[in-house]
Structure 1
Amino acid sequence: MYGGWVMKAEDIVSLTPKEIQIKYALPYDQFI
């Protein structure tokens, strides 16, 4: 997979988009 992100659903189910960005060190607000 090129340029994608893989994470378990149970790891992010209770998080806000901003918390997900911080947890996975996502570089920008692509889905917020």
Structure 2
Amino acid sequence: MTLEEMEKNIVRYADLKPCKTAFIDAHTPGSDQKDN
């Protein structure tokens, strides 16, 4: 495997895109009353 091939597989933290729906309960009205 060449250096160029390896660099294609590197994921940089700055390039990551956050998932907007991961914590959907945090944005849902009334979710503060949930147990978990």
Q: Same fold (TM over 0.5)?
A: no
More helix, by proportion: 2
Structure possessing the higher radius of gyration over alpha carbons: 2
TM-score w.r.t. length of structure 2: 0.21
Greater RCO structure (CA 8 Å; 6+ sep): 1
What's the TM-score once normalised by structure 1's chain length? 0.22
